[in-house]
Amino acid sequence: MTSATRGPAGAAFGEPDPEPLTLDDFARLARRRLPPEVWDFIAGGAGRERTLAANEAVFDAVRLRPRALPGVDEPDTSVELLGVRWAAPVGIAPVAYHELAHPDGEPATAAAAGALGLPLVVSTFASRTLEEVAHAASAPLWLQLYCFRDHGTTLDLARRARDSGYQALVLTVDTPFTGRRLRDLRNGFAVPAHITPANLAGSAAAGSATPGAHSRLAFDRGLDWSFVARLHAVSGLPVLAKGVLTASDAEAAVRAGVAGVVVSNHGGRQLDGVPATLEALPEVVAAVRGRVPVLLDGGVRTGADILAALALGARAVLVGRPALYALAAGGGPGVRRMLALLTAEFADTMVLTGHPTTGTIGPDTLSPPRPGLPLPGPPPPPGPTTVPRTAPHTDRSHG
Ligand SMILES: Cc1cc2nc3c(=O)[nH]c(=O)nc-3n(C[C@H](O)[C@H](O)[C@H](O)COP(=O)(O)O)c2cc1C
Ligand SMILES: O=C(O)C(=O)c1ccccc1
């Protein structure tokens, strides 16, 4: 990993970049490499970026309970989702246009995830075709879908995903249009002309290079939960809902037949002011009652963050921005290194908290919330539509 200012003979224009040791290091390297308006598009959030900041701040406020002499030698970091084993409970969230970070784009990301046995969720706005990404992959691929006003475009993507061996669809339910991202508005950000939504070529949904304007024209704002069954009917694939933050939406998703729920606030890019995802997680886990697995994304930056999410009932987490930062810093090998760092941190955290497998990680792994800190509290009492929660991780049969 070298900085953009480094000369051909080595560190001619300054010190060489230090080898990244944390996900934050990758962010620093990416910031130096990317054009400022591209950095802002990736790093930014909606409005005052309160929710964006909260996602990481709530993880920062978590306190872990260590266990001395736990007798754990090599922890088994793996988890099972939808009947498939992941090497660790972390995958890559759907993020548009990987070519913004590096010309090798999504195939490089897919190869890196595959090398670690971790899944990639490919975005509707991927800069390479989903078939090309499948060719480069060796671990599970899921396809994220936005629903366009022209439903046929989205349903075609669902069929193509099935035909290319994708194992699940992820319907994003928090985005009738993209949020007010002030950095992009001030920068007049547009995706460069040579980077295109490759999977939408020739469709009615292929449009403007300005994501905000395009989403307001092309996305179906009238969408309802019945679309989950429609996607499953045309593809035969399990459908997850991404962007659930409340018990009532979790209940609606499960009733609609989802195979999983992703607790997400879109990385703070949609409605500013909604809770951090770790804050929302207990409420969603309680409402889901073990019927389907719950995943979480937003602000996961360390192995301890993964442990905290699992302790509060998530089966796995996804990372978004860190994948693009690592891609910008070092291409596919950068992403591979980022994922290796994150999973190694998680394995260390398992040992230090005394967990030989992911299945035993529960609420007693965390210290109780301290007053005045933005920490996740206990789940709210069951409402009229919910019955008392069962323990997390009781839905092994669903995989
Ligand atoms: C640059 C960028 C593009 C994104 N594009 C999509 C997308 O196409 N579809 C989607 O469902 N979510 C998209 N997201 C949201 C991510 O899937 C994810 O929810 C979020 O990035 C997680 O937070 P993190 O970046 O803090 O890990 C995008 C996020 C970023 C930063
Ligand atoms: O989903 C997003 O956050 C996003 O940035 C995006 C990018 C391109 C098209 C649609 C949404």
Which residue segment(s) compose the domain that 146 sits in? 23-201+210-364
Question: Between the CA of residue 150 and those of 156, 368, 384, what are the distances in Å?
Answer: 11, 48, 37
Instruction: Indicate whether 236 pLDDT > 60.
Output: yes
pLDDT of residue 391: 41
| 53 CB-near residues (< 8 Å, 6+ apart) | 268
For ligand 2, atom 11, the nearest C-alpha belongs to 211
How confident is the model over 232-236, as a mean pLDDT? Answer: 98
What is the number of structural domains in the chain? 1
Give the residue numbers marked as catalytic. 266
* Cα 319 versus chain centre, distance: 4
Binding site per annotation, positions for glyoxylate: 146, 181, 266, 269
Residue 16 lies in a domain: no
Residue 1 lies in a domain: no
More confident residue, 202 or 182: 182
* pLDDT tens digits, 4-37: 443 333 344 667 788 999 999 999 999 999 999 9
Residue 12 lies in a domain: no
Residue 17 lies in a domain: no
pTM: predicted TM-score of the whole model, two decimal places: 0.92
**Distance (Å, whole) CA 136 – CA 114:** 8
Residue 324 lies in a domain: yes
Look at residues 86, 72, 147 and name the one whose alpha carbon lies nearest to residue 116: 86
Question: Between the CA of residue 132 and those of 104, 137, 236, 306, what are the distances in Å?
Answer: 12, 9, 21, 30
Q: Is the ipTM of this complex over 0.95?
A: yes
Q: For the chain, percent helix, then strand, then coil, each to nearest 5? A: 40, 10, 45
The number of the ligand 1 atom at minimal distance from the alpha carbon of 319 is 27
Residue 328 lies in a domain: yes
Question: What tokens does 309 get?
Answer: 């999410």
CATH of the domain at 137: 3.20.20.70
* pLDDT tens digits, 197-232: 999 998 877 777 898 989 999 999 999 999 999 999
Residue 102 lies in a domain: yes
* pLDDT tens digits, 75-120: 999 999 999 999 999 999 999 999 999 999 999 999 999 999 999 9
- Encode burial over 252-266: b for 16+ CB neighbours within 10 A, e otherwise: bbbebbbbbbbbbbb
How confident is the model over 123-148, as a mean pLDDT? Answer: 98
Quickly state the pLDDT bin for 178 (edges 50, 70, 90).
Answer: very high
* Cα 165 versus chain centre, distance: 20
Rounded percentage of the chain residues whose pLDDT exceeds 70:
89
Q: Which of 37, 49, 266 to mutate to test the pocket of ligand 1 (most atoms within 8 A of CB)?
A: 266
- Encode burial over 99-130: b for 16+ CB neighbours within 10 A, e otherwise: bbbbebbbbbbbbbbbbbbbbbbbbbbbbbbb
Q: Which of 34, 269, 324, 327 to mutate to test the pocket of ligand 1 (most atoms within 8 A of CB)?
A: 269
Binding site per annotation, positions for FMN: 94-96, 123, 144, 172, 242, 264, 297-301, 320-321
Residue 372 lies in a domain: no
